[in-house]
Structure 1
Amino acid sequence: MNVPNTDGRTRIDEIADGIYRISTAIPPEVMPGGFTFNQFLIADDATLLFHTGPRKLFDMTREAIACVLPVASLRHVAFSHFEPDECGALNDFLAVAPRAEPVCSRIGALVCMGDYADRPARALADGETLSLGRHTLRWIDTPHLPHGWDCGFLADLGTRTLLCGDLFTQFGAEHAPLTTSDILEPSEAARRGMDYYAHAPDTTATLERLAALQPTTLACMHGASWQGDGAALLRELGRRLG
């Protein structure tokens, strides 16, 4: 649904059980070709927000969360790596959610959060799980995939949803919240136009670790989320990159 008071630019949609995609569209006149910034809210006993969006979009994201639950009830604000669209509004959320803690990789906590965050971060080790109540998440270290030494992703084991950050980035401002259509070719077109991958030697092996989780929903940070055989799609991405 569209979020009130955001000029129709932000909407929130449930893409898996208890998992909401918050998407703000950036029109072509602002960013050539258009773009979307997507955050993901997991509503549970200990609610988690994955990615905050840029600081300038804080009010839009906050209003979207308030359509589902009180923003002050957030307990975890997680992100894949240190970059403005991943965690630019982190401290804004910590200010309005007094019990919330940053959640990131051990490298992220060591290198970035000790200086940046207004509250100590919870650093997750590779393979560590985080229980929210009904949802159990597993952190997977993915250094330099697609970029960032501190990068990692969260997988919800129950719904088999992979919060996959910048993987499968799709340009454009208009996207379905959840699609079964091809997202690989649009994301490969985006990569050819603006190559944002680090092309590390372990990329294919890291994608295979993600594929082994057998995700059925891919929660993409830019563009539509996707439903289908996520393992096959991740392996095909590995072949393209390899």
Structure 2
Amino acid sequence: MTAIDEIAPDLYRISIYVPEFDMQFNHFLVKDDEPLLYHTGMRSMFPLVKEAVAKILPPDQLRWIGFSHFEVDECGSLNEWLSVAPNAQAVCSEVGAVVNMSDFALRPAKGMTRADVLETGKYSYRFIPTPHLPHGWDAGVMFEEKNKTLLCSDLFHHNGNQAAVTEADILEKVRLTLRFIQQTPLNNYMPYTGKTAGMLKELADLGPKTLATMHGSAYNGNCVQALLDLNAIMKEEQDEE
């Protein structure tokens, strides 16, 4: 089940719902002078995501392919996209570019450090490193400065076939999803560390107006408070390290 929705100006959410997992996998396409695809999706989903991208712009016009951290739903089909789009380059954290992409990607990735900005034309995406949040040494997020959209990866993960965007509270759904995962072999999904609160506060200080979540609805409510409240939920529901 694939759905395409414009959740912010020129930002399209391409969502694939997998009933077996009761989970949405969301990919975000920025339509601009230098188009950006954020989250490649798994290799098995590549044909579906490519078909959806083609409804918005020719896939070979992609210039940037971004992701938060090295994981199959984040960058599993990266090389398929690099093959389709000859001018495209992966963009991720500097750690990810050195540690993972130097061997995994068909072409060198653009590694970003704190406060680096990726210009796509009308839009500017500021990179914020978030090591081990949601998980992985190489993790980071991107913040679009004009419309104040935070591409926040697995943060605010909530299961179910959700609406594309909502202003209703999502935090209870996030809590229930984290609690469920903690009871499975996949526990310690987003371990709470001594640096978690500070990183979430840094993201809140950006003043986002939309949270573009990888699993679940994008959120258009009080995003600043949601990020601060997420800290408490993670601390309560995840194993502290």
Same fold (TM over 0.5): yes
- After superposition, what is the alpha-carbon deviation per residue over 1:175-229, rounded to whole angstroms, capped at 9, x for unaligned? 1110111111101111111141121210000000000110010000001111022
4+ residue runs over 6 A deviation: none
Tell whether the 8 Å contact from 2:101 to 2:108 is kept in structure 1 after alignment: yes
**Hey, what's the Cα distance between the residues in 1 that align with 2:114 and 2:49?**
28
1:168 shift after superposition: 0.5
Tell me whether 1:162 sits opposite 2:155 in the alignment.
no
Structure 1 counterpart of 2:165, from 178, 183, 186: 178
**Hey, what's the Cα distance between the residues in 1 that align with 2:234 and 2:177?**
14
Aligned length, in residue pairs: 229
Structure 1 counterpart of 2:38, from 47, 50, 54: 50
1:239 shift after superposition: 2.6
TM-score, normalised to structure 2's length?
Answer: 0.93
- Secondary structure class of the residue paired with 1:155: strand
TM-score, normalised to structure 1's length?
Answer: 0.93
Match runs of 1:24-35 below 5 Å? 24-27=16-19, 30-31=20-21, 34-35=22-23
Structure 1 counterpart of 2:9, from 8, 11, 17: 17
Structure 1 counterpart of 2:218, from 220, 225, 228: 225
RMSD: 0.8
Tell whether the 8 Å contact from 1:204 to 1:241 is kept in structure 2 after alignment: no
**Hey, what's the Cα distance between the residues in 2 that align with 1:185 and 1:241?**
12
Amino acid at match of 1:18: D
Tell whether the 8 Å contact from 1:23 to 1:38 is kept in structure 2 after alignment: yes
- After superposition, what is the alpha-carbon deviation per residue over 1:116-173, rounded to whole angstroms, capped at 9, x for unaligned? 000100001111111100000000000011111100000100011000000010111x
Tell me the residue number matched to 1:200.
Answer: 193
**Hey, what's the Cα distance between the residues in 2 that align with 1:239 and 1:127?**
26
Structure 2 counterpart of 1:89, from 77, 95, 105: 77
**Hey, what's the Cα distance between the residues in 1 that align with 2:55 and 2:127?**
27
Tell me the residue number matched to 1:143.
Answer: 131
